[in-house]
Amino acid sequence: MSLVVYGHPFSSYTQKVLIALYENATPFELRCIGPDTPQHAAEWLRRWPLRKFPLLVDGARDIAETSIIIEYLQRVHPGPVRLLPEDPMAALEVRFLDRFFDLHVMNAAQHAVDGALTGDPVKRQEGKALAEKKLEVAYAWLEGQLAGRTWAAAGADFSLADCAAAPALFYADWTHRISESYPVLRAYRARLLARPSFARAVDEARPFRPLFPLGAPDRD
Ligand SMILES: N[C@@H](CCC(=O)N[C@@H](CS)C(=O)NCC(=O)O)C(=O)O
């Protein structure tokens, strides 16, 4: 039985897992959680009542949390692209950067999105201000961290950390532009956008851009 992913093409965390699947050309079926397919949402919530997606289903197994999903894929459905290095210390750095992009970039941008979704102009402004403050700190740290690197982790090839970074920096930049004072970070985001696995995820999500609560900019 093939792998099933419950998620949505425009969702950043779904994209993180799609990148891993595309990197290794792993076959799977995407069951989109949206208004046209209520049966998918019902099945997803039956399996994972914590209401977070994506969720990976592999036969009788339900696997939640994107970092765990990607590590699971590597262990159980490995392909030519190894997304966690074999060396434990190198793997630790990859896991750390994965956490950094989820917690300090993606979740920081989410404050602005959540504020906008309330429909309350004051909350919208507060959410935007908080996101901007947090993202500036994250951008400045990444600018130093990524200097001299092609991919996020030192000496590592494309990894789990880059799977997390791609959608996080994609939407963070839409929320609070990465300014020209961060050339290293801007170049890294451009490299991620050029990576075929992420380029495919971005293209598949294009029809949903009007859904972006802050208004999608006319780029990327
Ligand atoms: N830590 C989770 C985060 C997943 C997450 O927040 N997914 C979003 C979609 S991008 C979601 O489920 N949002 C629905 C909600 O929070 O109600 C992971 O890595 O899987």
With a cut of 80, say whether residue 156 has pLDDT above it. Answer: no
Instruction: Give domain status of residue 191, yes or no.
Output: yes
Ligand 1, atom nearest to 52 Cα? 12
In the structure encoding, which two tokens stand for residue 152, read together? Answer: 């996020």
Instruction: Give domain status of residue 79, yes or no.
Output: no
The domain that holds 108 is classified in CATH as: 1.20.1050.10
Instruction: Give domain status of residue 13, yes or no.
Output: no
161-170: average pLDDT: 98
Q: What is the pLDDT of residues 22-38, one digit of tens each?
A: 999 999 999 999 999 99
pLDDT at position 21 is 98
Q: Helix (H, G, I), strand (E, B), or coil: what is residue 57?
A: strand
Distance in Å, CA 32 to ligand 1 centroid: 14
Q: Measured from the CB, is residue 99 less than 6 Å from ligand 1?
A: no
Total domains, the chain: 1
Whole-structure pTM value: 0.97
Instruction: Give domain status of residue 133, yes or no.
Output: yes
Q: What is the mean pLDDT of the chain?
A: 97
Instruction: Give domain status of residue 65, yes or no.
Output: no
In the structure encoding, which two tokens stand for residue 210, read together? Answer: 């009007």
Instruction: Give domain status of residue 104, yes or no.
Output: yes
pLDDT at position 1 is 59
Instruction: Give domain status of residue 21, yes or no.
Output: no
Q: Measured from the CB, is residue 66 less than 6 Å from ligand 1?
A: yes
Which of 61, 2, 6 minimizes the C-alpha distance to 26?
Answer: 2
With a cut of 70, say whether residue 127 has pLDDT above it. Answer: yes
For tokens 């802050």, name the residue.
214
Query: How many CB atoms within 10 Å of residue 48?
Result: 18
Q: Report the nearest-CA residue for atom 2 of ligand 1.
A: 65
- Amino acid found at 184: V
- Please, which residues have CB within 8 angstroms of residue 23's CB and are 6 or more apart in sequence? 79, 81, 83, 158, 163, 197
Q: What is the pLDDT of residues 71-115, one digit of tens each?
A: 999 999 999 999 999 999 999 999 999 999 999 999 999 999 999
Distance in Å, CA 180 to ligand 1 centroid: 30
Which of 202, 152, 196 minimizes the C-alpha distance to 173?
Answer: 202
Q: Report the nearest-CA residue for atom 15 of ligand 1.
A: 52
In the structure encoding, which two tokens stand for residue 195, read together? Answer: 């990576």
Ligand 1, pocket-test mutation among 53, 67, 98, 111, most atoms within 8 A of CB: 53
Domain with 92, as residue range(s), is 88-195
Instruction: Give domain status of residue 63, yes or no.
Output: no
